[in-house]
Amino acid sequence: MEGHVDYRGRPILSRSAAGGWTSAAFIIGAEVLERFAYYGISINLISYLTGPLRQSTAAAAANVNAWSGAAMMLPLLGGLIGDSSIGRFRTAVISSVIYVLGLAALAVSAAEGGLSRVRTAVFFLALYAVAVAQGGHKPCAQAFGADQFDSDDPDERFSRSSFFNWMYFGVCGGTAVTVLLMSYLQDNVGWGVGFGLPCASMAVASALFLSGSPTYRFSRKSPNSASSEQNKEPLLLEKSRSGGWEDSARGILRLLPIWATCLVYAVVFAQSSTFFTKQGSTMDRRIGPNFLVPPAALQSFISVSILASLPLYDRFFVPIARSITGRPAGVTMLQRIGVGMVLSIAAMAVAAMVETKRLRIGQELGSAVTMSLWWLVPQYVLYGVSDVFTMVGLQEFFYDQAPDGLRSFGMALYLSIFGIGSFVSGFLVIVIQKISALFGDDWFSDDLNRAHLDYFYLLLAALSCVEFLLYLYFARRFRYKQGLGHSV
């Protein structure tokens, strides 16, 4: 395989010698553990901020959105470093070390009793260290995983498309366990343990990623040459490939209309770990006489619905669609993304209806605790099914359609959609709270029985409809870089 070497810098003589699903298994396993670490922090962060750190609901939601936004924007820097400087593999490894250290500091700060400025400062410094580390690890590790499949080989190109499906399947399986386990431990055992387990998980992820090194393919092509025969040094390094920065810039710019018209989807996505969780805390969470379901645990239904839907998509939907359309993946990447957008609109509409019912019960009875927590399940399930289409479709689209030498940056561009979406969500919360409070009807009151999250959800559903129309306009005019010329 010209332009590729193994971990000792030796030429790879056949595709079976390195790369493929063997390498992908190590990377998928490491990504599952990394997501356990990340979601072990993020899923219940709003509860920690409103609990031990004593922040208001609106302030905590804004802080969660700001941190999530930073964690999703920093991959732009990490991806650029991986593509143009030290390589994807090394960027992922270095980021993993910072990741473990940040999580360790987070666990120590959470384990300390009392509330002080020092403890709060250490907590937020550690939290943003995790964001920085995630920004380097996630785009480079995922792009490096896709690099294990050769796009010039028809069978491996199809396997690469399937790789994104099964990587997301594994990640969501780990997330389901994370949500159920960590939300219970954090609410009932302690935050030190609740943040300590993610640290241990990331340490194991780093070891697993490194242990797969003998099986990996590494690209030895540089930005300035067609190929490189520098096989004397056993560098674990793959360089970016590019036909020039001007061509690369044009290749990235052509993706921006799709990027921009997916931002509202990301705003919708941000609600599952903030206001959905706070809603759940006001509802009847009892199972039996003694057990209370942690509010954040319902996020597991997103993962469960993904775990149920992805195999059906990969093994049944794709073959049926392929027989009709003649396309290897059944539908185009942009078609797949669009279907998920429609489902996200449905999720917001259902969320608004459920919240309207919850408010009516709360106003009639003075409390919403008589309404079962399970009323929130449908909106979580719709979230999960929409992710199967849009999230996985976006991953494949931004990897596949980015210039060859900027594929880590392409993955980072995909992640930045959710970073900007989190910032926009936080900005909307702040602006709407100030405006609605002026009229004596605070949409985000700490007492959710006096709030109007239903109005907020309806607003997001309306914005999503506008976004979808714009997306259709640009998607129909997009031309894939392989020159196939097919529209959305």
The confidence band for 256, taking pLDDT boundaries of 50, 70 and 90, is very high
pLDDT value at residue 93: 93
The confidence band for 264, taking pLDDT boundaries of 50, 70 and 90, is very high
164 within 8 A of 392, measured Cβ to Cβ:
yes
The confidence band for 22, taking pLDDT boundaries of 50, 70 and 90, is confident
pTM assigned to the model: 0.71
Q: What is the pLDDT of residues 110-159, one digit of tens each?
A: 877 667 788 888 889 999 999 999 989 988 898 898 888 887 777 777 77
- The number of distinct structural domains making up the chain is 1
**pLDDT top residue among 201 and 172:** 201
**pLDDT top residue among 467 and 87:** 467
Closest among 425, 463, 472 to 444, alpha carbons compared: 425
Average pLDDT of the chain, as a whole number: 81
Q: Is the pLDDT of residue 319 over 70?
A: yes
Q: Is the pLDDT of residue 263 over 80?
A: yes
In degrees, rounded to 5, the angle at the alpha carbon of residue 72 between the alpha carbons of residues 216 and 116 is 115
**pLDDT top residue among 442 and 26:** 26
Sort strands 218-219 and 291-292 into parallel, antiparallel or unpaired.
unpaired
Q: Is the pLDDT of residue 411 over 60?
A: yes
- Listed in order, strand segments (DSSP E) in 111-191 are none
Q: Is the pLDDT of residue 41 over 50?
A: yes
pLDDT value at residue 369: 57
For 385, the domain range is: 4-220+236-477
Q: Is the pLDDT of residue 260 over 90?
A: yes
pLDDT value at residue 262: 92
pLDDT value at residue 77: 87
Closest among 473, 431, 424, 432 to 451, alpha carbons compared: 432
Q: Is residue 388 part of a domain?
A: yes
Cα distance between residue 377 and residue 220, in whole Å: 48
Q: Give the mean pLDDT of 413-427.
A: 84
The confidence band for 233, taking pLDDT boundaries of 50, 70 and 90, is very low
Q: Give the mean pLDDT of 198-218.
A: 92
Q: Is residue 363 part of a domain?
A: yes
Q: Is the pLDDT of residue 287 over 80?
A: no
pLDDT value at residue 229: 33
Q: Is the pLDDT of residue 243 over 70?
A: no
Q: Is residue 368 part of a domain?
A: yes
pLDDT value at residue 435: 87
Q: Is the pLDDT of residue 254 over 70?
A: yes
The confidence band for 366, taking pLDDT boundaries of 50, 70 and 90, is low
3 within 8 A of 227, measured Cβ to Cβ:
yes
**209 token code pair:** 């990623």
Q: Note the helical H segments in 439-481.
A: 453-477
Q: What is the pLDDT of residues 169-184, one digit of tens each?
A: 888 787 778 877 887 7
Q: Is residue 229 part of a domain?
A: no
Q: Is the pLDDT of residue 471 over 90?
A: yes
Q: Give the mean pLDDT of 3-24.
A: 77
DSSP code string of 318-381: HHHHHHHH--TTSS-HHHHHHHHHHHHHHHHHHHHHHHHHHHHHHHHHS-STTSBGGGGHHHHH
Q: Is the pLDDT of residue 189 over 60?
A: yes
Bridge partners of 292, per DSSP, are 286
Q: Is residue 227 part of a domain?
A: no
**pLDDT top residue among 407 and 28:** 28
Q: Is residue 482 part of a domain?
A: no
**pLDDT top residue among 274 and 168:** 168
CATH number at residue 214: 1.20.1250.20
Q: Is the pLDDT of residue 190 over 70?
A: yes
Q: Is residue 165 part of a domain?
A: yes
Q: Is the pLDDT of residue 283 over 60?
A: yes
Q: What is the pLDDT of residues 388-403, one digit of tens each?
A: 899 889 988 998 888 8
Q: Is the pLDDT of residue 312 over 80?
A: yes
> How many Cα atoms are found within 13 Å in the side-chain-facing hemisphere of 245?
2
Q: Is residue 483 part of a domain?
A: no
pLDDT value at residue 245: 63
Closest among 258, 250, 251 to 474, alpha carbons compared: 258
Cα distance between residue 28 and residue 179, in whole Å: 19
